[in-house]
Amino acid sequence: MTKHLLLGQTLTFSGNPMHDAWEDVTHLDTQGAVLIARGKIAGVGKGTDLAAEHPDAQLIDYGDQLILPGFVDAHAHYPQTAMIASWGKRLIDWLNEYTFPEETRLADPAYAADIAGRYLDLLLDHGTTSVCTYCTSSPASVTAIFEAAEARGMRVLAGKTCMDRNAPEALVDTAQRAYDESKALLEKWHDRGRTNYVITPRFSPTSSEDQLQALGALWAEHPECLMQTHISEQIEEIAWVRELFPDARDYLDTYERFGLLGARAVLGHAIYLEPREIDRISEMGAALVHCPTSNTFIGSGLFDMSLARRVSVGLATDTGGGSSFSMLRTMAAAYEIGQLRGAPLHPAQLLWLATEGSAQALHLGGIIGRLAPGAEADVTVLNLGSTPALGQRLANARSGWEAIFPTIMMGDDRAVSDVWVNGARVTP
């Protein structure tokens, strides 16, 4: 058995910096190390100590580079890879103009496989080792992303996106097809190695009550799965939901009344939640996902990160509504939104959201997104001086956090110097 000992700066957490003072639960070790064996993290500690304890380990010295858990993207749409950064539309027009035509193309298994492989390779280039993604309504798109994930050893969560109304004919299914196809895919792919199936109604405007009921029934049969959907992304969307569901108390009720709210619910965006919705989400233990580059790019609004004191919150690119594949850029946008709301996040909080926070939102806390013994060995290494601009900033840093924060704000794929997936080294 080959063991690898990675030497460098390490960042670990002993608690949640969104709940507790970040200074008390964040640990930056400038002479740290991570031991990898059999696809798992076998140890984290001082480099000199671990090297002495494991003289047979292969040493990889990253110097003053930062060793982190692989980034975890909690909400994305891999079928939108080819149309990312499309110009000038609000949500509903953007779906009709760009998203639905592109998603139609993924009914072709060859095209779906090409996009899936391209997408996951782009994630690895940017240091993201795990993702929870929507597919299209075509089962071929689900097969494509899971096969691409298996080929790369990545932890991927995904599901068939169910829609039976308010979408092009080529993309709509029926309540029964949504149930049957989702169930067949779930039975094939859920908990198969590092793949996890997620029950996926796109959002209530594109699902009839019959379809929402059918998916609620499927989730009741398989409560071990996650259920992902969207909620309260834009004002126009919320008005549309009120028209489509006149008897619902609010947007959340369009899911809850059909059995689509629970501890394993993962709700994307959640910008305009009402007090009752917040209370109910907290009571049920559901998670929210902040998608900052998408929320600014499509003009949706500013997420209230203070909700993280009451509910689990993950961080996500929301590709391709989000305008970047990079979790570094996503963290930068989250910081900027925090500034606009008068509550800027510390870099420790941003890094936690992009790793352990997202993992916990996906009910994979301790499995991914963490440098700790027993976790899956997904690791991203950041060069904090990857460009001339960052290099001069690093040279003038007065503390570890002053060295790290500029890479969060200005870093890109050039900052990702190495990636490990399931204990295997990847060339980004």
Residues 62 and 77 both lie in one domain: no
As a whole number of angstroms, the distance between CA 107 and CA 159 comes to 14
Helix residue spans in 225-317 (DSSP H)? 235-244, 253-256, 275-284, 292-297
What counts of helices (H) and strands (E) characterise the chain?
Answer: 17, 16
Residues 203 and 328 both lie in one domain: yes
Q: How confident is the model at residue 168 (pLDDT cuts 50, 70, 90)?
A: very high
Residues 19 and 137 both lie in one domain: no
What total of structural domains would you count in the chain? 2
Residues 28 and 160 both lie in one domain: no
Helix then strand then coil, in percent of the chain rounded to 5, is 40, 25, 35
Residues 42 and 112 both lie in one domain: no
**265-297 core/surface letters (b: 16 or more CB in 10 A; e: else):** bbbbbbbbbeeebbebbeeeebbbbbbbbbbbb
Residues 80 and 120 both lie in one domain: yes
Determine the average pLDDT of the residues in 373-392: 98
Residues 63 and 76 both lie in one domain: no
Single residue among 336, 361, 386 that ends a domain in this structure: 361
Instruction: Give the number of C-alpha atoms closer than 13 A to the C-alpha of residue 313, restricted to the C-beta side.
Output: 27
Indicate which CATH number applies to the domain containing 319: 3.20.20.140
- Count of other CB atoms within 10 angstroms of residue 101: 14
Single residue among 361, 385, 407 that ends a domain in this structure: 361
As a whole number of angstroms, the distance between CA 224 and CA 145 comes to 21
As a whole number of angstroms, the distance between CA 265 and CA 289 comes to 11
Indicate which CATH number applies to the domain containing 43: 2.30.40.10
Per residue in 78-125, pLDDT (tens digit) is: 999 999 998 877 878 888 899 999 999 999 999 999 999 999 999 999
Per residue in 297-343, pLDDT (tens digit) is: 999 999 999 999 999 999 999 999 999 999 999 999 999 999 999 99
φ and ψ of 106, to 5 deg: -80, 5
As a whole number of angstroms, the distance between CA 286 and CA 226 comes to 10
Per residue in 32-71, pLDDT (tens digit) is: 999 999 999 999 999 999 999 999 999 999 999 999 999 9
Residues 381 and 265 both lie in one domain: no
Domain span at residue 276 reads 71-361
